[in-house]
Amino acid sequence: SEQLFVEMADVMAAEGWRDAGYEFVCIDDCWMAPTRDERGRLQADPKRFPSGIRKLADYVHSKGLKLGIYSDVGNKTCAGFPGSYDHYDLDAQTFASWGVDLLKFDGCNSGTLELLAEGYRRMSLALNKTGRSIVYSCEWPFYLRPVQQPNYTEIKQYCNHWRNFFDVYDSWSSIKSILDWTALHQDSIVKIAGPGGWNDPDMASVFVFLSQLVIGNFGLSWDQAVTQMAMWAIMAAPLFMSNDLRHISPEAKWLLQNKEVIAINQDPLGKQGYQIAKDKNFELWERPLSGQAYATAVLNKQEIGGPQNFTFSLTFLGNGLACNPACSIRQVLPASRDWGVYSWVSSLSVEVNPTGTVLLKV
């Protein structure tokens, strides 16, 4: 309901979320009335959004925030509301006239793969034609993948970020499956990511917001929440929270607003990280950063027992260049502290909790 989004915008402005960089309040599926109006335009559900989307956008903008909305490339949304098929220009103009700043464009009920691709292209052109800057969030590759390998070069020409994998759920098995999938496909997806176009590991329609970070709900332990935040930063993933900010623990708030982690996620070089080593239950990931720095994550996938040590040579990092001839290392998560200066030939021993991650900046 509009009341929910008004309250969430208030909290984002008042409790440091906007200042940490979270600037979009996103409405997902089910915001629409079941039919278009007499002029063929989408309209908001009159009971849940009685003031209309334009008024809500104005309110969100008054808080220094932006509004995101949802539609679908097919003739119906995933939940059965009117889709944008055959109405791409009209819907883009409608969203622009309402002051919308982001469109999540789903891929349900699209018919053939040709119609799906054509719809994603046409909506991209239609949004640009409005003259309003609207972030275009696609689900194009997710719907292609069961049948064919997505052409990411083409997708990046049209979309600002794109969904690759199944809905995220508030569970460790969901987070783990996303990380496994990303590592398995990194050769085809990492190179395409960069300013203007990003791989989105997941984007569920089952929560209040476009779903990314399920931190602050109930399904993840503290170590697993740290892992999600650290790995989403390594993967250069868009950070969309999927939680109720009116009822969030101080610990979850500290993690989600952690400026050092957000700085890694938003690094201006815009390169996506990747897995560089795997040993039993441990994984070593790195992400090149601006200023010749690297973010490094040591992930422990062991689910039982206590903390374990992982030791690796610093020559592993950045093809041997990250620490040549020496480097300073700072731990960012699970808590921030300086580790000091190391030489190129040093080994590093990192203690990591089960299902946890230690995030370092080298």
Q: pLDDT tens across 40-55, in order?
A: 999 999 999 999 999 9
pLDDT for the residue 268: 96
pLDDT value of position 121: 98
Q: What is the pLDDT of residues 231-286, one digit of tens each?
A: 999 999 999 998 899 999 999 999 999 999 999 999 999 999 999 999 999 999 99
| The predicted structure's pLDDT at residue 202 | 64
**What is the dihedral sign for C-alpha 220, 224, 227, 229?**
positive
Instruction: Write phi, then psi, for 68 (nearest 5 degrees).
Output: -110, 150
pLDDT of the residue at 166: 60
Cβ-based neighbour number of residue 253 at 10 Å: 18
- How is residue 128 written in tokens? 């640009």
Q: What is the mean pLDDT of residues 192-210?
A: 65
CATH T-level fold of 2-266: TIM Barrel (3.20.20)
What does the alpha-carbon distance between residue 69 and residue 190 come to, in Å, rounded to a whole number?
27
**pLDDT of 212 above 80:** no
Task: Render pLDDT for 218-245 as a digit per residue (tens, 0 to 9).
Answer: 788 999 999 999 999 999 999 999 889 9
Per the CB < 8 A criterion, the answer to whether 175 and 206 are in contact is: no
Average pLDDT over residues 75-91: 97
> Rounded distance, CA 29 to CA 9, Å?
19
What are the Cα distances from residue 39, in Å, to 35, 36, 42, 240? 11, 8, 9, 34
d(CA 362, CA 192) in angstroms, rounded, equals: 24
Residue 349 confidence (pLDDT): 97
CA distances 278 to 311, 313, 348, Å, are: 12, 13, 15
Residues with catalytic roles: 106, 167
Instruction: Report the DSSP beta bridge partners of residue 44.
Output: 32
State how far the Cα of 225 lies from the Cα of 175, in Å rounded to an integer.
Answer: 9
140-147 contacts: CB < 8 A, separation 24 or more? Answer: 140/107, 140/116, 142/107, 142/166, 143/107, 143/110, 143/113, 143/116, 144/113, 144/116, 144/117, 147/113
Q: Give me the pLDDT at residue 203, please.
A: 45
| Rounded Cα–Cα distance for residues 23 and 12 (Å) | 8
Name the 3-class secondary structure at 91: helix
Q: What integer pLDDT is reported at residue 164 of this predicted model?
A: 81
Cα–Cα distance between 207 and 231 in angstroms, integer?
21
3-class DSSP assignment, residue 53 = helix
For 274-361, CATH number out of 2.60.40.1180, 3.40.50.2300, 3.90.79.10, 3.40.50.300 equals 2.60.40.1180
- Coil, helix or strand at residue 52: coil
How many angstroms separate the CA atoms of 236 and 318, rounded? Answer: 17
The pair of structure tokens assigned to 338 is 């300086």
Token pair of 155 as six digits:
């997708």
Q: Cα–Cα distance between 4 and 301 in angstroms, integer?
A: 37
What is the pLDDT, as a whole number, of residue 169?
66
pLDDT at 205: 31
Which residues, other chains included, contact 160 with Cβ-Cβ below 8 Å and sequence gap of 6+? 135, 136, 137, 196, 197, 198
Query: Which residue would you say has higher pLDDT here, 6 or 144?
Result: 6
- Mean pLDDT over all residues of the chain? 93
Domain ranges of the chain: 2-266, 274-361
Q: Provide φ and ψ at 208, rounded to 5°.
A: -65, -45
Cβ atoms within 10 Å of 217's Cβ, excluding its own: 18
Q: Indicate if the pLDDT at residue 170 is higher than 80.
A: no
Amino acid at 312: F
Percent of the chain with pLDDT over 70: 94
* Three-point CA angle 13, 19, 24, nearest 5°: 65
